[in-house]
Amino acid sequence: MRFWKLFLLLILALFCTTPAMAVGEISIDKDNGIYHIILKGEKVKKKIKFVTSEDLITNREAHIKGNAALTINAGFFDPKNGKTISYVVTDKITSADPMFNPSLLANPFFRKNMNMILNRSEFRVMQCGNKFEYAIVSHKSEVPFGCSLITSAQGGPLILPELRMEEEGFIVKDEEGNVTRESASVLHKTSRTIIGLKGTDECHILIITDDNPMNLYEVQKLCSELKLERAMAFDGGSSTSMNYKKSIEVTSLKGDGAGRMLKSFMLVY
């Protein structure tokens, strides 16, 4: 009898540690308020597309409209005018350009630090010959010879291999090292959308929900524990959103985002 009890406990433990969802190249696990999504293999690279909406819409609307398997929020935007603060490339064409955002150009801080803002980190899917490749690089980084940029979305800051909050204009310090300006609540606990890479064939997405908000130092520690090699943030706070088929929906009620009305999205088919 004791043997069968132990056997049943072992079976239950195995079920408790299996992914919440695992269909094709997309696997989703949830632990301690964090969804960990892995896009694995060559085929899924061709099924990723970053898109923008002319008007601000919810992640759910983008998910349904795009008929995607997975949809998450992507780049930064101005909720007041609906214009982008992040570059987005869709099907090899720039679909969102912050240089056309008048509020960005009118902001004294942004105007003074325009090169820094425009060169924030972005996630890329490139075609190099017959293969598709991921990259997390600064926006102004050259596309490798023999490759073409298929789709991308800018966010920031870079988290791994190093945290670049100051270099990408998310925090500003005075001469004594005191923080005088902070954007995207990078130093405070909030919900987050994080994307990272492990090896050449694994794209990892972390949806950090209201149940376990984190600052970016904590996010960097988590990404390191997951052995990601490169990682960056997309928009977070109440912009943090995820839809998977008709099974999972995540929205955030906290933070400094735009109340779930968003500008750009990552779709996985």
Nearest to 212 by CA among 81, 34, 23: 34
pLDDT tens column, 145-190: 999 999 999 999 999 999 999 999 999 999 999 999 999 999 999 9
- Residue 228 falls within a domain, yes or no? yes
**In a 10 Å sphere around its CB, with 0-12 CB exposed, 13-18 middle and 19+ buried, how is residue 28 labelled?**
buried
Residues 6+ apart with CB under 8 A from 200: 133, 134
Predicted local confidence at residue 255, as pLDDT:
63
| Residue 26 falls inside a structural domain | no
At 116, is the secondary structure helix, strand, or coil? helix
Structural domain range at position 264? 36-268
User: Residue 269 and residue 263: Cα distance in Å, rounded?
Assistant: 19
pLDDT of residue 164: 98
Query: Phi and psi (nearest 5°) for 204?
Result: -110, 135
What phi and psi values does residue 97 have, to the nearest 5 degrees? -130, 115
Q: What is the pLDDT of residue 22?
A: 55
Q: What is the total count of domains within the chain?
A: 1
Please state the rounded mean pLDDT for residues 129-137: 97
Q: How far, CA to CA in Å, does 259 sit from each of 70, 86, 113, 205?
A: 20, 18, 27, 21
Residue 259 forms part of a structural domain: yes
Q: Is residue 15 part of a domain?
A: no
pLDDT bin (cut points 50, 70, 90) of residue 15 is very low
Q: What band does 7 get if pLDDT is binned at 50, 70 and 90?
A: very low
| Residue 242 reports pLDDT greater than 80 | yes
- Kindly state whether residue 21 falls inside one of the protein's structural domains: no
Examine residue 2 and state whether it is found in any structural domain, yes or no: no
* 27 occurs within a structural domain: no
In a domain, 112, yes or no: yes
pTM: 0.90
